Amino acid sequence: MQPFEFLIPRRPVSLQARSRANLQAWKNFVREEAKKVWDVNLPPVSFPPLRFSIVYLCDSSPADIDNIIKPIQDALVGLVFEDDFLISDVDSHRRFLAEPIDITNLPPLLQVAIEMGRECVYVRVSDAEDLGSYL
C-alpha cells in the first residue's frame, strides 16, 4: 500500500481510561481525522501485512505510549485496514515537545507537527518490511 499518514491534533486517550464513553469519543475523533486524509472511495487494505507507526509529541505529563496504540488502531479498522490483525509490526515513539528534536530526516508531516509545538500524535500505516530491516 502507499504509506498513509495523518495527525491527531489532540492529547491521546489511554486504553486504560476510566470512562468508556471518553475512550469511544477518542476513537471516533481519530477516525474522523483519518477520514480527512484517507480516500473513502478506496476499500480498506486487506493485504499485505502492515506496519503501524506512531509518534506521540507530548507535554510534561504524557500518557503511557503502550496504552495509546490500541485505541488508534481500533479507530482505523474498516476504514484504512480491514482488521487490525493485518498489523504485524508496531513502532511507537514518545518525544517531549520541550526537548530539542532534530527534524532533518523526519517525514514532512511529522516536521510540521513538531513545529506546531502542541500535543498530538503522528500516525503512519505502511507495508511491513522484512524482519532484518528492523533489526
Is position 14 within any domain? Answer: yes
Is position 134 within any domain? Answer: no
Instruction: Print pLDDT tens along the chain (135 aa).
Output: 899 999 999 999 988 888 889 999 999 999 999 999 999 899 999 999 999 999 999 998 898 999 999 999 999 999 999 999 999 999 999 999 999 999 999 999 999 999 999 999 999 999 999 999 988
The CATH number of the domain where 89 resides is what?
3.30.1330.70
β-sheet bridge partners, residue 122: 7, 55
Pair 130, 20: CB distance under 8 Å: no
Pair 57, 102: CB distance under 8 Å: no
Query: What's the confidence (pLDDT) of residue 134?
Result: 87
Query: What's the confidence (pLDDT) of residue 123?
Result: 98
Is position 113 within any domain? Answer: yes
Note down the domain range covering 67: 4-129
pTM over 0.85: yes
Is position 135 within any domain? Answer: no
Q: How many domains does the chain have?
A: 1
Q: What is the residue whose three cell numbers read 486504553?
A: 15
